[in-house]
A and B are shown apart, each in its own frame.
Chain A
């Protein structure tokens, strides 16, 4: 008990202390969070009418961000597998940070879904026995179930490892390895379930394809490690944590292969849609070429494709990949490209045209953007705090001293 108490005390202590840059970063994030909360008060008061959504396009940036972030959360598995299964020493150094990112992404997902609800105070209706949980029929119920489970797994396994290390011991393989195995399958399942959430809708021909699941996984495993890699660069620059250069290369290779597969699947999708156009091609037509004068998403998707192609070219050529600056640029391009392609470029066209053939466009409002930025800031805050404390424990800066506790 004493050890637990002191662990949490030290954890929080380490999480919140830092230098000037840390405080500047946290201040920026806090500002974003505050503006997000302020914007949300309007939404809670007035209802979702303050957003740009409509009966025609009923899901917008919130669910777009949710879809992207579920991928980032699942992508931790791409580091968990080499670390715990293949005992890759390089990856083992950073895998706890990756799981910290997974936790932050999971929390962001839950927040995005909550702000998207028309009646967030009724969220308790989803609790089994207290409420009515439509499991296993509803894919959304499945999503809630797997995300909650994944959050629990991503919190508990690193907690065990850090706690043992904090006490100066060695984490027992028998204890954490079953959890690791479960979390590998669970990570893949969270993103597959999210893909099914969309692809199970026969009403939306843009999503009702079998390839949506593989596309989701491929894009997740490219953008997730890329995002993680970018954060590792920050960690290497601004903390004492020694990230070996080879780690970057390992993660970059994972992201490269995933991106290559992602682009191939995109090509397959485009071919299948456009070789012989059917009425169901309308959504893809709207996305890539616009319908009539409604072309809002066309520049977005083509720039996303350009970014992804540029990224895959840089990453596939070894000499370019080894260049640090180019690597960072490629990762940034990839993250933004996949965010567009999977977020706005997947959710919005699913609703256009409506099942009755109406082409009605969607533009996010300032309130939606502010709330989304606020949630991103909360996620980044959580990740920063978790990373700081994890690094401190990993470096041995904090240790449990049984004797000297007051």
Chain B
């Protein structure tokens, strides 16, 4: 009798312990936490999609833009995509100071809007468009009805000082990097107020690729010593070696 009771007690204890320890695995605590994050992520993506759908028109009076100097900072309500999550920043304004022809409407008010896709001959003919290949022409980006603005794919007006909204339509990965600091130039301080250059400060929108320039001079050797060039000790690439062997074998 004693023995069997003991055995029963032992089995009970053992199964209790077993359940206690196995429990988390059975009920998936760890997977709970991971699915928790997954839920969080998808919530974020939902918000982003919602933001895209709810994109509002930018008004003409786009002086709710972040400015570098004069106007007091205004909280920017209408945002696109990732901008809502990016660390706050200000951009260096360009249209007043750097765009020579701005305001464009000074001329274009009196001009007819010609929507025909063509090469420009009378004005702006010095501009060579090297952006987008055969797919772009002027009015792809410039607002036909109001030349003081650019426009998005949905024909919302985009201010020149917020040109990143235009570029970011195609170059969204770059734009995200730019928002978070992995791309582009920050000026001024590394600490405190974040001031960035707009895309067009470095990239000419009509010919955006960075042109090669002459580098600064190479380092010198210590005074009193003579520089002896290293010569090329580049190892042959694997395929070069292979091709060389092949041609040698052919020649044999």
A interface residues, Cβ below 8 angstroms from B: 49-50, 52, 54-55, 291-294, 358-361
Q: Please state if A359 and B230 are interface contacts (CB–CB under 8 Å).
A: yes
A54 to B231, CA, bound (A): 20
A50 to B222, CA, bound (A): 11
Chain B interface size range: under 10
A358 to B225, CA, bound (A): 15
Check if B53 is an interface residue, CB within 8 A of chain A: no
Q: Please state if B228 and A358 are interface contacts (CB–CB under 8 Å).
A: no
Cβ-neighbour of B221 out of A50, A54, A359 (below 8 A): A54
Cβ-neighbour of B233 out of A50, A52, A55, A292 (below 8 A): A292
B interface residues, Cβ below 8 angstroms from A: 221-225, 228, 230-231, 233
User: Which single residue of chain B is at the shortest CB-CB distance from A359?
Assistant: B230
Q: Please state if B231 and A292 are interface contacts (CB–CB under 8 Å).
A: yes
Which 8 pairs, one residue from A and one from B, show the smallest C-beta to C-beta distance?
Answer: A54-B222, A292-B231, A292-B233, A49-B224, A359-B230, A54-B225, A293-B231, A49-B223
Chain A residue numbers with a CB within 8 Å of B231 are: 292-293
A293 to B223, CA, bound (A): 22
Between A and B, 19 residue pairs with Cβ closer than 8 Å are A49-B222, A49-B224, A50-B224, A54-B221, A54-B222, A55-B222, A291-B233, A292-B230, A292-B231, A292-B233, A293-B228, A293-B231, A294-B228, A294-B230, A358-B230, A359-B230, A359-B233, A360-B221, A361-B228
Chain B residue numbers with a CB within 8 Å of A52 are: 225
Chain B residue numbers with a CB within 8 Å of A291 are: 233
Chain A residue numbers with a CB within 8 Å of B228 are: 293-294, 361
Chain B residue numbers with a CB within 8 Å of A55 are: 222
User: Which single residue of chain B is at the shortest CB-CB distance from A362?
Assistant: B225
A298 to chain B, nearest CB (A): 16
B230 to chain A, nearest CB (A): 6
User: Which single residue of chain B is at the shortest CB-CB distance from A53?
Assistant: B222
User: Which single residue of chain A is at the shortest CB-CB distance from B230?
Assistant: A359
Apart from A291-B233, A292-B233, what 20 extra A-B contacts exist at CB < 8 Å?
Answer: A49-B222, A49-B223, A49-B224, A50-B224, A52-B225, A54-B221, A54-B222, A54-B225, A55-B222, A292-B230, A292-B231, A293-B228, A293-B231, A294-B228, A294-B230, A358-B230, A359-B230, A359-B233, A360-B221, A361-B228
A360 to B221, CA, bound (A): 10
A291 to B230, CA, bound (A): 9
User: Which single residue of chain A is at the shortest CB-CB distance from B233?
Assistant: A292
Chain B residue numbers with a CB within 8 Å of A359 are: 230, 233
A358 to B222, CA, bound (A): 14
Chain A residue numbers with a CB within 8 Å of B224 are: 49-50
Chain A residue numbers with a CB within 8 Å of B223 are: 49
Chain A residue numbers with a CB within 8 Å of B230 are: 292, 294, 358-359
A68 to chain B, nearest CB (A): 25
Chain B residue numbers with a CB within 8 Å of A292 are: 230-231, 233
A359 to B221, CA, bound (A): 12
A361 to chain B, nearest CB (A): 7
A54 to B230, CA, bound (A): 16
A367 to chain B, nearest CB (A): 11
A360 to B228, CA, bound (A): 8
Chain B residue numbers with a CB within 8 Å of A293 are: 228, 231
A393 to chain B, nearest CB (A): 50
B226 to chain A, nearest CB (A): 10
A69 to chain B, nearest CB (A): 27
User: Which single residue of chain B is at the shortest CB-CB distance from A50?
Assistant: B224
Chain B residue numbers with a CB within 8 Å of A54 are: 221-222, 225
